[in-house]
Chain A
């Protein structure tokens, strides 16, 4: 089973700044089957990125995903007020079971 480690645990930034979130896998992720989700308080998660770099429907282009193998990154180019939330990475495809990372909270500085 692949273990995902997200870093940092909390990221304190101001609106307009660039956010860089990392997700490390304990072993190579097959076919770069890695997704990113955003979750705001009291809401269900929302899919942002899948296959490491493909934006989901209606996701603004300030969100981008990159990486391969064991190292993946979610970048938010310029933080909008609505982007302050918790972000999770997820690996899929290697078995019917999925694994999530522990999450990164992006908070207002």
Chain B
């Protein structure tokens, strides 16, 4: 079945870096733009970043621009979120998400991973 599995979360000090990974299976990964969505403890959902099916287009929420990068390896069915200069306010569960259909910009989030927790704390 279609599945997304995140990994790489953990506890990190402010200013440090962390790389999240998302392993996809059960669908044609290379056809879909892929997203990261996060949720701070007890808070709502916040879209973080998207990468197009071929990695040529990338967009970020303003609060992470210049600090986070997104990438993918279609041969491995993997997506990554490199998080640098982490801040306390980046503390959240990070979800890897696939849209319902493979049309860039039609971002109805159909398949969600289980999430990986990132805690930024001194």
Contacts and interface: CB of A to CB of B under 8 A. Distances in A.
B84 interface: no
Contacts of A100: 44-47
A79 interface: no
Contacts of B107: 90, 92-93, 96, 98
A61 B65 CA distance: 40
B50 A96 contact: yes
Given A50-B100, A88-B44, A35 B108 contact: yes
Contacts of B115: 44
B105 A45 contact: no
Interface residue tally on B, bucketed by range: 20 to 34
A71 B63 CA distance: 28
B59 interface: yes
A47 B59 contact: no
B59 A96 contact: yes
A96 B57 contact: yes
Nearest to A88: B45
A103 interface: yes
Nearest to B96: A44
Interface in A38-93: 39, 44-47, 50-51, 56, 88, 90, 92-93
Contacts of B44: 88, 100-103
A99 B47 contact: yes
Interface of A: 33, 35, 37, 39, 44-47, 50-51, 56, 88, 90, 92-93, 95-103
